[in-house]
Amino acid sequence: MKNKPKHPRKWVSWQGGNLSADNGKPRNPERRNDMEELREKMLEYRARHQMSQTTLAEACGVSYQTINSIESGKQTPSALTKTKIMLVVGKEEK
């Protein structure tokens, strides 16, 4: 092998809807619970207001693919995306 990399790549695996490096460390269960809570709030909000994923996405300022990925557990949203969603979904709790 002529062009052997100097450093081996970290392999990434897909486990439970989150990408993480295979370093043997356990995942943070609190973060997983936060994502499940966000998912439930999104589903409840859409059901209560009879909204489609597209309508919720427009209200939050994100794409419908983002809403779909979060609801199906395939994606963990960034802090900005989570904040945008919570501004719409979480405002009725007060």
pLDDT band at 14 (very low <50, low <70, confident <90, very high): very low
Residue-range definition of the domain harbouring residue 72: 29-92
Cβ-based neighbour number of residue 67 at 10 Å? 26
d(CA 16, CA 73): 8
Higher pLDDT, 83 or 17: 83
Report the domain count for the chain: 1
Q: Which CATH number goes with the domain that contains 70?
A: 1.10.260.40
Secondary structure (H, E, C), the chain:
CCCCCCCCCCCEEEECCEEEECCCCCCCHHHHHHHHHHHHHHHHHHHHHCCCHHHHHHHHCCCHHHHHHHHCCCCCCCHHHHHHHHHHHHHHCC
Would you say residue 8 lies in a domain? no
**27-79 per-position pLDDT tens digit:** 566 666 788 889 999 999 999 999 999 999 999 999 999 999 999 988 889 99
Would you say residue 40 lies in a domain? yes
Would you say residue 7 lies in a domain? no
**Has residue 94 got a pLDDT over 50?**
no
Would you say residue 14 lies in a domain? no
Would you say residue 19 lies in a domain? no
Would you say residue 87 lies in a domain? yes
Would you say residue 68 lies in a domain? yes
The predicted structure's pLDDT at residue 27: 57
